[in-house]
Amino acid sequence: MSAFPTTPPHCATINGVRLCWYAAGANTKGADGVPVVFLHGWPELGYSWRRQLEACADAGIWALAPDQRGYGASEAPTAVEAYDMEHLTGDLIGLLDHHGVKQAIFVGHDWGGIVLWQLGLRYPERCAGLVGLNTPFMPRPPIDPIAIMRARMGEEMYIVHFQKPDEADQILAQRTPDVFDMFMRRPLPGPVESAGFASQKSGDQSVFPLVRLVEAYNSAIDPRETFLTEEEFQVFVDTFRRTGFTGGINWYRNFTRNWERSADVATTIDTVPCLMITAEKDAVLPPSAAEGMGAFIADLETVCVAGSGHWTQQEKPEAVNAFLLDWLRRRQAHLFA
């Protein structure tokens, strides 16, 4: 399959915005069709799932990978609140309605994983299965998560920093190639030093000050291996040069709003089969972060991709595809019938 980057996406007005998605395979079952829908994170695209779309097509599985709102070919509304969880999950339910199907198997990485688990809480009847990649299920915290991150990790921890209007957006837009050069690399050999959300603020220095790291980045002295080809790297750079970063950053600017508006949302996923794929060397979302998920998800399997950092579906596509297809064959046999 050569869906990327030459084949244009499909687009339609869904949930009030223009959404675009890439497709693999075909729906041969009409209203009874069940697509696998891949949800990207930040700063990524539907393109991030190119290797998974190829694997689904080869297996005869219908799959969709949207550029979610604020990204790529999809529309980027101006209002910050247009990126809250109601809108993000509503887009995906609207995508199913647009295709005339009742359910999908959702696969989510990074921010797409946060949206994935919320789909399971808010719309379990529309979820035939859920597959988390790197991002574990995280229960609603007792207080505003931004307040927690600010107290523990400092003002320049990237999620806290993103709460400032425009500042990070402009810095990242000015250094777009450096963003992807810094991010899209394999972890170094040896033990992982976690820069995750449980880290504590040390003195006046913030934990994981991503924007400042990008400002100081010099690829010439970065010893880590890249995993993108030059063509793949350029897809990300060209797209984000065109769109900027504000749409995706606005997802982060709804952390407090999402927390405030989720007090009455269900707290467990009781009826949907779930798979959690962790990554051994993800410094921000380590496998240990998924250890408590069984208390909130009734039907859960967990596997780990050895040697992978955070960008697992692109770093280790063969391993991700093998875990995903094995689970689909065992738990979603109707896709192969």
pLDDT for 76-121, tens place per residue?
A: 999 999 999 999 999 999 999 999 999 999 999 999 999 999 999 9
In a 3-state reduction of DSSP, which class is residue 158?
helix
The partner residues of 224 in beta bridges, in order of sequence, read none
Asked if 64 and 98 count as a contact pair (C-beta separation under 8 A), the reply is no
The residue annotated as part of the active site, out of 40, 109, 161, 310, is 310
For strand 17-24 and strand 63-67, is the pairing parallel, antiparallel, or unpaired? Answer: antiparallel
As a whole number, the mean pLDDT across the chain is 94
Query: What is the spatial distance between Cα 158 and Cα 9, in angstroms, rounded to a whole number?
Result: 31
Residue 196 pLDDT greater than 80, yes or no: no
In a 3-state reduction of DSSP, which class is residue 10?
strand
Residue 205 pLDDT greater than 90, yes or no: no
Residue 4 pLDDT greater than 70, yes or no: no
Q: Which amino acid is at 142?
A: P
Averaged pLDDT for residues 242-262: 98
Residue 309 lies in a domain: yes
pLDDT band at 328 (very low <50, low <70, confident <90, very high): very high
Residue 317 pLDDT greater than 60, yes or no: yes
- Asked if 169 is an active-site residue, the reply is no
Residue 253 lies in a domain: yes
Residue 92 lies in a domain: yes
**Owning domain of residue 154:** 10-336
Residue 1 lies in a domain: no
In a 3-state reduction of DSSP, which class is residue 76?
coil
Residue 2 lies in a domain: no
Residue 62 pLDDT greater than 60, yes or no: yes
Query: What is the spatial distance between Cα 235 and Cα 34, in angstroms, rounded to a whole number?
Result: 29
Residue position matching structure tokens 């046999």: 333
Residue 4 lies in a domain: no
Residue 198 pLDDT greater than 90, yes or no: no
Regarding pTM above 0.85, the answer is: yes
Averaged pLDDT for residues 151-161: 96
Residue 3 pLDDT greater than 90, yes or no: no
CATH number of the domain encompassing residue 105: 3.40.50.1820
pLDDT digits over 261-304, tens only?
999 999 999 999 999 999 999 999 999 999 999 999 999 999 99
- Asked if 87 is an active-site residue, the reply is no
Query: What domain count does the chain have?
Result: 1
pLDDT band at 27 (very low <50, low <70, confident <90, very high): very high
Residue position matching structure tokens 């539907």: 46
Averaged pLDDT for residues 68-82: 98
Residue scoring higher pLDDT (103 or 7): 103
The strands making up 104-109's β-sheet, listed across from edge to edge, are 10-14, 17-24, 63-67, 36-39, 104-109, 127-133, 274-279, 300-305
The rounded percent of the chain whose pLDDT value lies above 70 is: 95
Q: DSSP string of 166-183?
A: SHHHHHHHHTHHHHHHHH
Whether the bond into 141 is cis, omega within 30 of 0: no
pLDDT band at 193 (very low <50, low <70, confident <90, very high): low
> What distances in angstroms separate CA 41 from CA 61, 83, 325, one per listed residue?
22, 14, 21
Closest CA to 67 of 84, 42, 90: 42
Question: Which pLDDT does position 7 carry in this prediction?
Answer: 74
Averaged pLDDT for residues 212-221: 96
Question: Which pLDDT does position 200 carry in this prediction?
Answer: 37
The residue annotated as part of the active site, out of 110, 169, 181, 282, is 110
Residue position matching structure tokens 């989720």: 262
Residue 199 pLDDT greater than 90, yes or no: no
Any alpha helices (H) in the chain, and if so which ranges?
A: 50-58, 85-99, 111-122, 145-153, 158-161, 167-174, 176-183, 210-216, 230-243, 246-252, 255-260, 312-315, 317-331
> What distances in angstroms separate CA 131 from CA 2, 151, 187, 272, one per listed residue?
25, 31, 23, 10
Residue 5 lies in a domain: no
Residue 75 lies in a domain: yes
Question: Which pLDDT does position 184 carry in this prediction?
Answer: 98
